[in-house]
Structure 1
Amino acid sequence: MLEAHWGVHADVWSVTSWTELRREALAVDAWNHRHPDEPQRTAHVATRLDPDNGPVVAVSDWMRAVPDQIAPFVHADWSSLGTDGFGPSDTRTALRQYFRVDPPAIVVRVLECLAQHRTVDQSCPTEARNRYTSLQGGRQWL
């Protein structure tokens, strides 16, 4: 949707374990503190999510606190979406729509981040909200 509708290329990563990424980052941090005179190591997540490649939007079907556990180790601008709280979740699709972690919501969040960086026009997030609301039969999801 980002590429097709907005001309924005994005890398999409799948995280198999937010906890393991954090564990590794904490281990690197501890090693660096114990070895201040040696070349400092960099956590895997920090090397993969380079700030020069743009903002990071982490999305999870879990609470935002789950992906946020690696935020201190990501040096790019960070934003997260998650399913905080309780809501109608008769299907996974309904859950994602309710908590705004579905594709349209992710696109809007990415465009908001890019607009802050002036990488896309400031009107893009609003245009996206309007476009995707109309695609859902006028139902407000944002």
Structure 2
Amino acid sequence: MSDWMRAVPEQIRPWVPGTYITLGTDGFGFSDTRPAARRYFNTDAESVVVAVLEGLARDGEIDPSVAIAAAKQYKIDDVFAAAVSYVDTGSA
């Protein structure tokens, strides 16, 4: 996962067995708070949880309803639901 592009981790996809999910912002400039931008590009902590659950559901390890419930709980499609940060340390 990266605040940058998915293209770099995607380069190793052919050699990774099993489900391989990459997350990243694909280099787009986005003028908003860091939490809102991470939610928009699905690279915040909550989005990572949902992506992992979706991968597990895709592999048949868990029921898809678990991933759906998490996406609803964390309001994944709502950038305004992202955690508010008053201090931006600049760390990823």
Trace 1:49-64 onto structure 2 (pairs within 5 A).
Answer: 59-64=1-6
| C-alpha contact 1:87 1:98 (8 A) present in aligned 2 | no
| C-alpha contact 1:64 1:81 (8 A) present in aligned 2 | yes
| C-alpha contact 1:71 1:78 (8 A) present in aligned 2 | yes
1:30-61 CA-partner distances (Å, limit 9, x unpaired): xxxxxxxxxxxxxxxxxxxxxxxxxxxxx111
Partner of 1:86: 29
Trace 1:3-82 onto structure 2 (pairs within 5 A).
Answer: 59-82=1-24
* Richer in helix (by share): 1
RMSD: 2.0
Q: CA deviation at 1:87?
A: 1.8
Query: What is the aligned-residue identity percentage?
Result: 41
Structure 1 unpaired stretches of 5+: 1-58
Cα distance in structure 2, aligned partners of 1:121 and 1:73? 27
1:117-138 CA-partner distances (Å, limit 9, x unpaired): 11111201110011111xx8xx
2:64 alignment partner, SS class: coil
The answer to which structure, 1 or 2, has the higher relative contact order (CA under 8 A, 6+ apart) is: 2
Cα distance in structure 2, aligned partners of 1:119 and 1:126? 14
Structure 2 unpaired stretches of 5+: 80-92
Cα distance in structure 2, aligned partners of 1:89 and 1:64? 20
| C-alpha contact 2:19 2:59 (8 A) present in aligned 1 | no
4+ runs deviating over 2 angstroms: 88-91
Larger radius of gyration: 1
TM-score of the pair, normalised by structure 1: 0.49
1:80 alignment partner, SS class: coil
Cα distance in structure 2, aligned partners of 1:125 and 1:88? 29
Q: CA deviation at 1:74?
A: 1.1
